[in-house]
Chains A and B, each alone.
Chain A
Amino acid sequence: MTATVERRPPETVMTLARMGSFHQSRLSFMRTLLRRMKAERWTFDRPCFDIDEAGVGMALYSATTAERTYTLVAFAHDLPDEMRSDRVIATQWDTTFTLHDGVPSEADIERLRANVPLQEAGRISESELTLSRANRSTRLFSYVVEELAAGRQPDAAAIDGVGYLMRTTAVYGSGKFGAADRAVIADRSEFEAPFQVEMLTVYLIRAFVLDLVEHMASLASDHAVPLEPAVRRRFGIGNSTGLGMAPFLLTHPRLINNWIAAREEALARVRSIERATTDEIDCFGSHLQRIRHTLAAWHTNHPIQLQKIGELSTDLDRLDVYVEATDLSQRSAWDALATWSGEALSLEGQELVVSLLLEPYGHLVDELTATMHADESTPITIDGSLTIAEMQTRIEQQYRWALSIDWSSSSADARAWYVSQEKLEPRLGERHLEPITEFEQPLQPGRDAVRMLDDLRRWPDHATLATFLRSHPEHRHTARRTLLLAHAPYGEICDNTIDAAMLPIDLLRAKLSFFGATHFDPRSDRWVRITMYQGAPFPHELADADPDSWTYSVAC
């Protein structure tokens, strides 16, 4: 389908405040994976589950496509409560995992047993695709084991108050710690869409965690009961994500462009629909009602997110009134709704409307997931034949938003991104308070573009970019980025990433929403807890389940 309504411009979409209000959608990577697994009739197995009453041991979970098998190798440990930490500086975890490419041999398992529990301090090989770990929820894990052991189902409110039994604190892929590079698996259709390996890992981890809690209950009591299926599905997998993820959106402009462009194209296609059918209107209305249950289960103590949830609640009231008063079968009703939401709702509300509008239109938008990957294996060539005047024009057009910032203000460059010596993780420091400027990473494209423009203006218009860069190699990364943006209009965040008021959680929210995460719970301005796969069918249920509808809560 060709959209007749134009996509929203990058300057509108790519602000941090809006990106920090994105919600999961049909294009989210978890949903992409579940649709594929169901459509291709993947089979799942648990060839090994050797865990003792203390929760210590090993398990294997396999997922088999028509051509290959992938195996989650899970190690469960007995971790004292005082050792449990979500920090990247932690050295022990309740459970550790790797996704093995194939069926592991005994030798593979012994190799992994010696390395996977060490996480960053160990090494995995090209036969492994991810490395991960998870910690128990101190609030919920023991409670659920005890309830099941006593022959009772856990209380639904207690489950929904947390949403998960374990939360992952890292899911490393793409060559990290010796794992296979993305290029090794990029030509496999099942991993064409972004982050499918990581999403598969977490999906199998969830199955393991629920099996583990039932297993521990059964070992504790002869009267133990398993979780009822509907109760079981209420558990997702938690995740704690911090600054380590934040630079990703800045260092992968081609990939981010493709994610956002797909989402904007999907919205444009729906807005271009001349008349919605009754089924489509009903589908939209059903999801609009169900989102209220999701909202009711969205818990946070963070003041900014609390305010946003409050605004979203008001938005839903307004949306209900609008939908009630509007004939959605009239011409261009979706376009009118999207236009209205941009004027009447908060950013949270506007972006939720985007997700809701896509729900009835899988046949129009799901195919766009095939456009969301990017080959980032080769840096783009710098066209040195461009003149100084041409390069100035490009920067002035593509970084118009940055030119309006007073970069001489101390608040405009208050922060600096750097990598800490201690854990080799990205950090965001206070430039004017800490000695970090000399270690600054190139994660402030707006400021760097303005600096390059200042130097370009001192050169003759007819000189070439090639000549300029030989004298100013410090602008080489900006030149390359600017040229890239001509082909990747959604590749740049149109905001100051080192401003005193910048919120790293906005970067995290944007990326995690594309994963399909829900229940964003910021714990500070730079790390967030989320829930993944809450409500999703388990591997043994997938063949008979809807791979999409689980993402919106249903009433208790």
Chain B
Amino acid sequence: MDLDLSLGEFEALAAKALRGTGYSWGAATDGAHAALVLAQNGLPAAEIALRLVTHVEYHGPGTSVLQNPSSGRATAPICAVTYGAALSDLAGAAPDLVASVAKSRPVIEPLLLAPFLTNCVIGWADGSVCVTHRGIELNGSIPVGAVHITIDFDGYAGTDLEDGCAVRSHKGSTRAVVTPATYWSLQAFAARTYAPASKQSRSSGAGAD
């Protein structure tokens, strides 16, 4: 039977899984919140998060280099969390640059990029997501793994920070329904953040004599 997680439980699990895969604490927070937003929008966030950490486990997180628009089309894949966080940071530094660098490149699990952006359409070969203040709307198939995407800001002003939040929350689903297999796979990554209990830790917790 599938597990019915609160969004808080799911976000915490995703953050630990990302951290367990080697993301910094700050990036893990960003990635987990992006996964949360996907869950709120009714997307299979746990499966997407699991695919991301599994991909990164075996292939690494990809490049962290943002392609300069003058140097042409980017070819090295980049993790959606790393890319989304970088674009979010850039939005304050160089909004015009966001639209330029973001246009076309391979991204690992690109649906996780959507919560970092707004007022744009992220497209791939057989699908797209439209990202607006109202939410994240998927059309076509869910992209899996490293997928070449385009981001179309035409008609929009780029990443929108007017309310101070690059990663938006949308009212929608209040739970994350996760298959046991996905849950325990994410838990396996999360478990890497736990230290084996020591005699000392047991003897110093609440209630100890």
Contact A442 B25 (CB under 8 A): yes
- B70 interface residue (CB < 8 Å to A): no
Contact A243 B205 (CB under 8 A): yes
- The digit string for A461-485, where 1 denotes a CB below 8 A from any CB of B, is 0001111011001111111100000
Which residues in chain A, 41-94, are within 8 Å of chain B measured between CB atoms? 85-90
Q: How far is the CA of A387 from the CA of B208 in the complex (A)?
A: 49
Which residues in chain A, 350-400, are within 8 Å of chain B measured between CB atoms? 377-386
Interface size of B in residues (CB-CB distance below 8 Å): 51
Q: Which of B24, B168, B198 contacts A378 (CB 8 A)?
A: B168
- A234 interface residue (CB < 8 Å to B): no
Q: Which residues of A contact B175 (CB under 8 A)?
A: 126
Q: How far is the CB of A18 from chain B (nearest CB, A)?
A: 23
Q: Which of B25, B64, B169, B200 contacts A430 (CB 8 A)?
A: B200
Q: Which residues of A contact B206 (CB under 8 A)?
A: 86-88, 169, 240-244, 526-527
With A382-B89, A464-B93, A470-B86 as contacts: A175 and B208 at CB distance below 8 Å = no
Which residues in chain B, 9-61, are within 8 Å of chain A measured between CB atoms? 9, 23-27, 29-30, 33
Q: How far is the CB of B79 from chain A (nearest CB, A)?
A: 11
Q: Which of B64, B89, B197 contacts A423 (CB 8 A)?
A: B197
Most buried by A among B165, B174, B206, B208: B206
Q: How far is the CB of A53 from chain B (nearest CB, A)?
A: 29
Q: How far is the CA of A177 from the CA of B88 in the complex (A)?
A: 32
Q: Which residues of A contact B6 (CB under 8 A)?
A: 126, 175-176, 178-181
Q: How far is the CA of A398 from the CA of B169 in the complex (A)?
A: 29
Q: Which of A87, A421, A467 contacts B207 (CB 8 A)?
A: A87
Output the nearest chain B residue to A380 by Cβ-Cβ distance. B164
Contact B205 A378 (CB under 8 A): no
- The digit string for B167-192, where 1 denotes a CB below 8 A from any CB of A, is 11100001100000000000000010
- B161 interface residue (CB < 8 Å to A): yes
- The digit string for B85-97, where 1 denotes a CB below 8 A from any CB of A, is 1101111111000
Output the nearest chain A residue to B209 by Cβ-Cβ distance. A523
Output the nearest chain B residue to A442 by Cβ-Cβ distance. B25
- The digit string for A148-180, where 1 denotes a CB below 8 A from any CB of B, is 000000000000000000000100001111111
Contact A169 B198 (CB under 8 A): no
- A434 interface residue (CB < 8 Å to B): yes
Contact B197 A378 (CB under 8 A): no
Q: Which residues of A contact B208 (CB under 8 A)?
A: 87, 523-524, 527
Q: Which residues of A contact B167 (CB under 8 A)?
A: 378-379, 381
Q: How far is the CB of A251 from chain B (nearest CB, A)?
A: 10
- A183 interface residue (CB < 8 Å to B): yes
Q: How far is the CA of A329 from the CA of B56 in the complex (A)?
A: 70
- B130 interface residue (CB < 8 Å to A): no
Contact B24 A421 (CB under 8 A): no
Contact B93 A475 (CB under 8 A): no
Q: How far is the CA of A215 from the CA of B12 in the complex (A)?
A: 42
Output the nearest chain A residue to B82 by Cβ-Cβ distance. A473
Q: Which residues of B contact A524 (CB under 8 A)?
A: 204, 208
Interface of B is mostly: mixed
Q: How far is the CB of B91 from chain A (nearest CB, A)?
A: 7
Q: How far is the CB of A260 from chain B (nearest CB, A)?
A: 22
- A420 interface residue (CB < 8 Å to B): yes
Q: How far is the CA of A476 from the CA of B26 in the complex (A)?
A: 5
- B66 interface residue (CB < 8 Å to A): yes
Contact B195 A476 (CB under 8 A): no
- A206 interface residue (CB < 8 Å to B): no
Q: How far is the CA of A182 from the CA of B201 in the complex (A)?
A: 30
Which residues in chain A, 520-552, are within 8 Å of chain B measured between CB atoms? 523-524, 526-527
Q: Which residues of A contact B24 (CB under 8 A)?
A: 473-477
- B8 interface residue (CB < 8 Å to A): yes
Q: Which residues of A contact B155 (CB under 8 A)?
A: none
- A439 interface residue (CB < 8 Å to B): yes
With A87-B208, A527-B207 as contacts: A379 and B8 at CB distance below 8 Å = no
- B196 interface residue (CB < 8 Å to A): yes
Q: Which residues of B contact A102 (CB under 8 A)?
A: none
Q: Which residues of B contact A430 (CB under 8 A)?
A: 200
- The digit string for A401-420, where 1 denotes a CB below 8 A from any CB of B, is 00000000000000000111
Q: Which of B25, B198, B205 contacts A425 (CB 8 A)?
A: B205
Output the nearest chain B residue to A474 by Cβ-Cβ distance. B24
Q: How far is the CB of B34 from chain A (nearest CB, A)?
A: 10
Contact B92 A86 (CB under 8 A): no
Q: Which residues of B contact A429 (CB under 8 A)?
A: 195, 198, 200-201
Q: How far is the CB of A452 from chain B (nearest CB, A)?
A: 11
- A296 interface residue (CB < 8 Å to B): no
Contact A181 B174 (CB under 8 A): yes
Q: Which of A175, A418, A470, A477 contacts B7 (CB 8 A)?
A: A175
Most buried by B among A378, A480, A523: A378
Give 9 new A-B contacts, CB below 8 A, not counting A184-B174, A381-B91.
Answer: A87-B208, A126-B175, A384-B92, A422-B196, A428-B204, A433-B200, A469-B85, A480-B26, A526-B205
Closest 9 pairs (CB-CB, A-B): A242-B206, A476-B26, A384-B89, A86-B207, A175-B8, A175-B6, A422-B197, A527-B206, A477-B26
Q: Can you identify 10 A-B contacts, CB atoms within 8 angstroms?
A: A88-B207, A175-B8, A240-B206, A242-B207, A420-B197, A422-B201, A423-B197, A473-B23, A475-B24, A476-B24
Q: Could you list which residues of chain A lie within 8 angstroms of chain B, going by C-beta atoms?
A: 85-90, 123, 125-126, 169, 174-184, 240-244, 377-386, 418-425, 427-430, 433-436, 439, 442, 464-467, 469-470, 473-480, 523-524, 526-527
